[in-house]
Structures are given as structure tokens and as C-alpha cells.
Amino acid sequence: MTATIPTTDAAQAIARLHTVLFIDGQWRPAASGATFTVENPATGAPLTVVADGSADDARLALAAAAAHQADWAATSPRSRSEILYRAYQIIMDRVDEIAAVMTAEMGKPLAEAKGEVAYGAEFFRWFAEEAVRIGGDHTVTGDGNNRVVVSKQPVGPCILITPWNFPLAMGTRKIGPAVAAGCTMVFKPAELTPLTALLLTDILREAGLPDGVLNVVTTTDPGAVVGEWMTSGDARKVSFTGSTEVGKILLGQAAGTVMRTSMELGGNAPFIVCADADVDRAIDGVMVAKMRNMGQACTAANRIFVHRDVLDAFTDKLSARMGGLVVGDGAADGTQVGPLVEQKATDKVTTLVDDALERGARIVCGGERPDGPGHFYPPTVLTDVDPAADLMHTEIFGPVAAIIPFGTAGGDAKSDDDEVLRLANDTPWGLVGYLYTQDIDRADRLSTDLQVGMVGVNTGLVSNPAAPFGGIKQSGLGREGGRLGIEEFLDIKYVSRPIAR
């Protein structure tokens, strides 16, 4: 691993941060005075302490959001747009600072953190443009007697819950459309990575977001905080990114008040390399799809299906690329793979790899955790993975590439396609899939028949603020980003009146 260097920029940025709750425009400690420690996953060293909110704080935060909803909804679309655009500009002016904080609390290499900052900022720019394009409709009923005017209005106070793996982008992807639509918010960032969210909150305040529009409660007791919001009756929408298990709990709670929901849940992405694929291009794609964020992404290639005609070439090239990656502290020069976010994450990956090996898989590279501090796991390639292995049915969330051969060498293409579709779709999740082929007809058929909400054809990256991100089956409900992203935060109303004769 590369040597750790002092994260001076991060330390200075964290020292300047407000590490308390943000309610009704005021930074304030938790009502109980409780705090929790945020650690650097590369070293295990504490970074700072953050206010540990409770149900009492949650109640105050939602009361503030509800009290300001009517005034915020009445603001002009242009004014909301300008706030988002100013926030976008501030983020882009402070890329290095934000990336340093993100790397310190989450672990990803600085270069990747800077990429997330640019990606996350783009949601604010996109929804700044969408804020002034909220449309409606006008029509006359078929009998000619009534005029119908359809309008869209903000759904009301929203609950936003974000994960730790993309601590800036998951916040901007939810806050951007809520601000653009005219919704107030209560926001609970992940307890492992609250610092980037708090920095983002201060940026929005600096950009001119009015008091009470965004209210932030950091906590180690999400059940109590979010439960208070979900059962209050004041919140009218919940937007959650996280595990399917937690998503199901929230869906059950949302039913109590018939709340609007957006759920971006787990994934089990297939990555299909057909016999006619450009292997070098597929290797480039799988490195992105597998290794982005050290594999800690719901879009990560979880099951890599490779046709037997190209299996050896693909495996050799992938193991060479994976084995050559530099592992170390994300703040160190040259690091390409940082630590996983916590000890529990490395333990999970270890257990999944051990299970696959017991079922006959072979390690081509990696597979052994290094000694020393930090939650590191080496880039690992497994081949001959049994479809019954646990990692085929569980998100790996780590830098492990599991290769599963399919097809018959020199066999029938249609039969091979049917086989890989059956394997790829054999999962309750359906977020994203990837496929590599040089046959346009095969690309059309496979992308149509893959049971997912998004498909990357000859690309390992599908996420873009201009696209409607989301899945099907147990991977979620609703879409984030694109033109559909703002619709999730709008109610539809029509007014009908007789036509005067």
C-alpha cells in the first residue's frame, strides 16, 4: 500500500465545519447534548465529533419545514433556479476542499472524490434549469362544455435519506429537485459520512437558501429520527437511497399516511461479455463498473458473465489490471483504491469470498486482507464462480470481480443469449445491467430482455444527471435525475370550469 500522508487540507476544512444540527436556519447542538465520532477509514483515527440528534430534534426540524412550506412554494421558479445555480458555482469553486473532506471520512481516492464533486454539482445545475420548466396542460373536455387547466404544485415537506457511499452526489440528487419544485426538506445523512453533507448544507445557506427550507439532523439512531418524520403526518414524501431491507420498512411506514415515495434500493448488476465483444473495451468498462468507489456502489458489476470463447483472454487481462492497482490511503499520491468504509464492510467481503472459494471458485489475484490499520481489501478476481455462491445473490460492495462463464465454445448464439439472460435475470433486484457485444441486433435483444431499469451497452458508466436513474423489481420505485426527477416532487392538480356561451 502507499504511505499515508497528513490530510492537512481535510483537517483544516473539517475544523471550519459546523458539526451540529441545522434547524430553521440555525446551527444548534442536539437537544440531549449527545455527539458521536466520525473516523477516517484509512487509519481508524477520529476526525471530529458530530451532534447526535434524537426524535426531539427530528420533531423540531420537521415543524420548521412544515412552517416554511407555503412561503417557499410561493417563491418564483427563477429565484429557486438562481439559488441552485449559485450553489453549483460555489461547489465548483471549492472542489479541492470538498473532495478532501469526502476522502477523509469515506476513503475514496482524491481523484475519484473530485469526480464525485463535479458529478454531484451537476445535479444542482440540471435542476436549476428544470425549475423554470415546470409545465402543465390546458384542454377542453370532449363534450365541449368545460375548460380543464392542469398544474403542478410542490408535494410538500420531504424526508431525504442518503447513504454513505456518495456523500455529496446523493445529497444533491435529492435536494436539487426538491428545491427546484418548491419543497421544504428534512435531511438525514448517513452517520458514517455526515461531514460532506454538513459542508453541502453550509454551501446552500451561502447560496441564499431561506431559513427552514432545508433542515438537517445527524444521528446514530436513524430509526427514531426517521420514524418520527414518517409517522408525523406533516411530511408528504420520502426519498431514500439505501438497502432494500430498510426501503421495505419505509414503504410500510409511508403507507400509514399514504406518503409519496422514491426508493433507490439494492442492486445485483450483471455484466455480460458476449463472444463477439471487443475484449479490451469490455475490460475498460468492467474496471469502471466494478471498481468505482472501491466497488461500493449499487451500480457495481456484481456478477460478470463471460462467454467461454473469450473467457481466458478476459480473465487474464482483468487480473492484470486489477492486480496492478495501487491500494492505500485515498489522500496519498498515486492511490487508486482506498479503504472500505468500515470494518463490517471488509468482514462481509471476506465472508463472501471465503464462501465462493468453498464452492469451487479460484482466486486469480488478491483475496488476502493486508495487515495494518484501516479497512482495506485488495482488488480481487475470482473465476469459476458457482451460481449458488452467496456473492451471486448478495451485493458484494467491495473490490471483488466474480467471473461466471456461460455459453458453449463455438456454440449457437441464440442459445448462449438465452442462457445468460436466464442467469442475469435470476435475482429479485433489477437496477442496472451492462453488456458488451458488437452485434447491434444482440444489443437490442439483450437490453430489452434484461430485467433492469438501466442498461449500459458497451459502457461501464450509466449515471448522469440528465438521465432518469432508478430500477425495477426490488431495486426501487421512482426515478432520480433527468426530466422525470423533478416530477417525483410535484403533485398534479386540475381545475375545471364551464365554458361561457
Cα-based angle 272, 274, 277 (whole degrees, multiple of 5): 110
Q: Which of 248, 236, 238, 232 has the alpha carbon at shortest distance from 188?
A: 238
CA pair distance 489, 242, nearest whole angstrom: 19
User: Which ranges constitute the DSSP H helices of 450-490?
Assistant: 482-485
What is the number of H-type helices and E-type strands within the chain? 15, 22
Q: Amino acid identity, residue 378? A: P
DSSP state of 330: T
Is 298 a catalytic site residue? Answer: yes
β-strand partners of 455: 433
**Cβ of 359: how many Cβ atoms within 10 Å?**
16
Compute the distance between CA of residue 364 and CA of residue 370 in angstroms, rounded to an integer: 17
* Alpha carbon distance 135, 153 (integer Å): 10
Give the residue among 7, 38, 48 at the shortest CA–CA distance from 341. 38
| Cell, residue 431 | 437496477
| Strand-strand pairing, 46-51 and 35-39 | antiparallel
Which one of the listed residues 264, 395, 480, 487 is annotated catalytic?
Answer: 264
Q: Is 264 a catalytic residue?
A: yes
Q: Which of 158, 183, 274, 298 is catalytic?
A: 298
Per-residue three-class SS string for 435-455: EECCCHHHHHHHHHHCCCCEE
Q: What is the dihedral of CA 73, 77, 83, 88, to 10 degrees?
A: 120
Cβ neighbourhood burial of 133 (10 Å; 0-12, 13-18, 19+): exposed
Contacts of residues 372-375 at CB distance under 8 Å and 24 or more positions apart, as own/partner, are 372/1, 373/42, 373/43, 373/44, 374/41, 374/42, 374/43, 374/44, 374/329, 374/339, 375/41, 375/42, 375/107, 375/339, 375/340, 375/341, 375/342, 375/343, 375/345, 375/346
Nearest in space to 455 (alpha carbons), one of 443, 444, 447: 447
Identify each DSSP E strand in 378-422 by its residue range: 380-383, 400-406
The residues annotated with a catalytic role in the active site are 264, 298
